[in-house]
Chains A and B, each alone.
Chain A
């Protein structure tokens, strides 16, 4: 999807912060993903036009970074850390339980991620990049369920508050 007029305005403000336009690429990708729940080919084409580069260059960069999702739109991204400090605190079971519980829901992506830098609270997961320490598999599933039902507010799928 193209940017809304408001977001296009924000995109131009972001570009103006940098000595060279192309530096705005990562922030603009976040902005598009927050708006649409994914990075559509249309959005990448618009970003290319704004930055004066080819769409394939945008794709080449977007595909390098794990936070950018290019397959289809989603409402929730659940990132379960399974690196060692979480691993030895039961992260494997947490990931398995959450992945299984929401496997049938197209709007939810459950992914295994590398260290989220919150190891004092291990095991941890993020829902749309909001941090949560979890007590165990059941607690983790219950937490994601609260987001799914809308009892907890989820921000954009790339953190949402990241760009103003």
Chain B
């Protein structure tokens, strides 16, 4: 199979082991995009470049980046840019690589974003466990100050920008944008109810844009190649490239940057080498632990955010593709993911706090040979207190943030694809026990 990567955001770090240094960054065209952006008006950067590029957030929700920026109320200052580097979605490891491998690209992208939205203060929130990444990003910020790319009068343009690298401390829910803001304000990382959206009342109740690391790392390339040219890459409303983190039972696990629109088969078999040890695939998870699972039958479907949401009842999410071979116990995987969600639930919303714990308990007994015949339907029943309509995609929810509905993805996946197998293990006959209406 002759599928190849399309390296834009990952090119420098793949070609140069010292891509994290300022010398290498400058020698490979670094900060040229910032200079060019500063010669445009902020609105031109936003509308003619970023909105025109069709770029959508790479953190998971896939919201239009230019559109998100346009929600900031005019004339309200101060306003803030926050870069979300709290990568915690299980089996996503792209931002980790970008932060360690090419930190100046993030600084430059964040500076472009801050200029476009009119912010003079930017924060890069980095997961606390990324000790080396924090060190490299802090050094990159310090070097950028010294070289005149940050601080007062950036590149002689008259624009001022302060940038702070902020360490997290081990909380998945801080990856939610409002949870992240609570954390950055020095609180428990509990998400806040929306509205008000961060664009109106975010950090310190001021207008705030929160963008993912990969999203801002893409911005310098959009400026250099032009928003319209970037929009010609990809498929439909999924423009450009994305980095997919492939792991599990594959021959060549790793990050692959590909043009959107190639198929899961291209990615999993072509690039990651397919299932290892001569085994067959049992199932795969297409977009992080929060996304419902898919089967080998779906391998020829395209990596297109809208298509996956509308037609496959799941999502591309954070771009984490987990592959499991034929010997994998789906109940064990479901239980481990449920345990993750139960551990990371912040406790603010009752359905998630209580529901995630009960899902973990019931899945534990199924995975460990003590399942009861009614268990699968029991979970679907009380799961309706978190997700009132399990047939809808994306899930609706009774909780403030998306962690709540995410807890139901493993359960719904077991029911969709492995119902007979689970019922048989639990010693049930195949009758469906009526689900209590919510």
Contacts from A to B (Cβ < 8 Å): 17-20, 22-27, 29-30, 51, 60-61, 64-68, 79, 82-85, 87-88, 113-122, 126, 128-131, 155, 158-164
Contact = CB atoms under 8 A, between A and B. Distances in A.
A87 B336 CA distance: 9
Interface in B230-272: 245-249, 253-255
A61 B188 CA distance: 5
B131 A159 contact: yes
Contact of A117 (B88, B121, B189, B346): B88
Interface stretch (B66-74, B90-98, B375-383): B90-98
A68 B169 contact: yes
Given A22-B186, A120-B246, 20 more contacts: A19-B78, A26-B183, A60-B188, A66-B170, A82-B336, A83-B289, A84-B248, A84-B337, A85-B90, A87-B336, A88-B324, A114-B172, A117-B95, A126-B129, A129-B128, A129-B129, A130-B131, A161-B131, A161-B132, A162-B131
A65 B168 CA distance: 9
A56 B72 CA distance: 35
Contacts of B249: 88
A131 B183 CA distance: 24
Given A129-B131, A161-B135, A65 B93 contact: no
Contact of B340 (A20, A114, A130): A114
Given A120-B93, A164-B138, A115 B88 contact: yes
B191 to A, nearest CB: 13
B129 A159 contact: yes
Contacts, number: 157
B333 interface: yes
B92 A117 contact: yes
7 contacts: A61-B188, A83-B336, A88-B249, A115-B92, A118-B93, A119-B253, A122-B253
Contacts of B162: 17
Contacts of A164: 138
Contacts of A61: 186-188
B91 A119 contact: yes
Contacts of B248: 84-85, 88, 119
A159 B336 CA distance: 27
Contacts of A129: 128-129, 131
Interface in B78-118: 78, 87-93, 95-96
Interface in B326-348: 328, 332-333, 336-337, 340, 343-344, 346
Given A19-B78, A114-B88, A120-B254, A85 B129 contact: no
10 closest residue pairs by CB, A with B: A159-B131, A25-B186, A65-B169, A119-B247, A22-B186, A66-B170, A67-B170, A129-B131, A115-B90, A64-B188
A20 B205 CA distance: 12
Nearest to A24: B186
Q: How large is the interface on B (under 10, 10 to 19, 20 to 34, 35 or more residues)?
A: 35 or more
Nearest to A21: B186
Contacts of A30: 128, 167, 169
Nearest to A18: B164
Nearest to B333: A84
A158 to B, nearest CB: 7
A63 to B, nearest CB: 8
A88 B328 CA distance: 8
Contacts of A23: 166, 184-186
Nearest to B121: A19
B423 interface: no
A162 B186 contact: no
B127 A117 contact: yes
A145 to B, nearest CB: 21
Nearest to B329: A88
B9 interface: no
Interface in B146-191: 162, 164, 166-172, 183-189
B5 to A, nearest CB: 14
A117 B167 contact: no
Nearest to A29: B169
Contacts of A159: 128-129, 131, 134, 167
A68 B135 CA distance: 19
Nearest to A27: B167
A64 B135 CA distance: 24
B128 A119 contact: no
Given A85-B322, A117-B93, A118-B93, A66 B131 contact: no
Nearest to A161: B135
A27 B185 contact: no
B204 interface: yes
Contacts of A121: 253
